[in-house]
Amino acid sequence: MKYTFVSLGRLESFGVRLGGAGLGNILFPWARALVYAQENSCIRIQTTWKNLKIGTFLRKERDKRLYFDLFTGKDGISGLKKFWLLNFSNKVKYFRGMGNLFVPFKKQQLYIKEELLKIINPHHLEKVKTFESNSIGVHIRMGDFTHPDEKMLRNGAWNCRLPIKWYQQIIKKINEKTDLPICIFSDADEEDLQEILKLKNCKSMHLGSAISDLVALSNCKVFVSSASTFSMWASFLGQMPSIWFPGQMRQKLINDSSVFEGEIDYDDALPDSIIKIIRNG
């Protein structure tokens, strides 16, 4: 195959797709295609990031996940040639779905991060520059996620809300060791996060878009995750110490074995390596 294309929805050759997953999920086929194109000297066809969907409006989610301005679009062949290749050529290798998550490209983390930053619209990266990275990043995903019981979560149920009381316990452990700011990134309204935001050093943070929030989270000193692929991408891009709810760490994402990434339960102590990092903050 001479060309690669990341297929994220329907009718993509027209420049705007119908349907498709959220940012965390669609970055998987993009990364696999990126690495494949590099290793096989293929020409990339521009990804159709722009999306039309109504579910996020019906659910009144803050992030409508349309992705009209997240990326520059300068990641491959576009226009009429893109339309022709996608509709009439048999020389295109398509990449779809989440595959085996990070396994196919884990070792190419630096290259993937570099290429991702290249295609993000600059004004989103300018927002990231205003963020104080000498902080603790916490991602709390709610949105369309379900409310399972903890047993299901501990057995690996995915795309679910984590207990607020778990975040409270982790944050309290962190507050015992440092006064670093704790930045809460979430798709929930602030009134739904009051139990968290009333804790010492906690503040709500949103930089205006999913991609700016993702990059900001990846820059934090320590990361407390949700049960989402968005959190997985923050950990993978940042390669920083990452804390997961029991049963929710699906893969090792950090290439340096000396950096902590693991599950911490309500009564577990923070690892010494994390305490050292946040005390030196």
Tens of pLDDT along 186-220?
Answer: 999 888 899 999 999 999 999 999 999 999 999 99
Same domain, 135 and 254: yes
Among 98, 119, 140, identify where a domain stops.
119
Q: What is the mean pLDDT of residues 125-147?
A: 92
Q: pLDDT at position 280, please?
A: 80
Same domain, 140 and 113: no
Same domain, 95 and 29: yes
The three-state secondary structure class of 172 is helix
- Residue 15 DSSP symbol: S
> Containing H/E element for 213?
helix 210-218
CA distance 8 to 96: 7
Among 93, 119, 145, identify where a domain stops.
119
pLDDT band, very low/low/confident/very high, at 55 (cuts 50, 70, 90): low
Tens of pLDDT along 20-39?
Answer: 888 999 999 999 999 999 99
> How many CA atoms does the CB half-sphere of 40 hold within 13 Å?
15
Same domain, 105 and 223: no
Tens of pLDDT along 140-159?
Answer: 998 778 777 899 999 998 88
Overall domain count for the chain: 2
CATH number, residue 249: 3.40.50.2000
pLDDT at 62 over 70: no
Same domain, 84 and 161: no
Same domain, 107 and 208: no
Same domain, 225 and 104: no
Closest CA to 230 of 19, 28, 44: 28
Rounded to 5°, the CA angle 187-119-221 comes to: 55
Among 61, 88, 119, identify where a domain stops.
119
Rounded (10°) CA dihedral 71, 127, 256, 168: -120
Q: pLDDT at position 58, please?
A: 43
Same domain, 146 and 231: yes
For the chain, count helices (H), then strands (E): 11, 11
Same domain, 180 and 271: yes
**224 phi and psi, to 5 degrees?**
-110, 120
Same domain, 143 and 161: yes
CA distance 197 to 118: 34
Domain interval for residue 43? 3-119
Same domain, 115 and 12: yes
Q: pLDDT at position 145, please?
A: 82
Same domain, 82 and 189: no
Burial of 66 (0-12, 13-18, 19+ CB in 10 A): middle
CB 205 within 8 A of CB 185: yes
Q: pLDDT at position 63, please?
A: 55
CA distance 6 to 49: 10
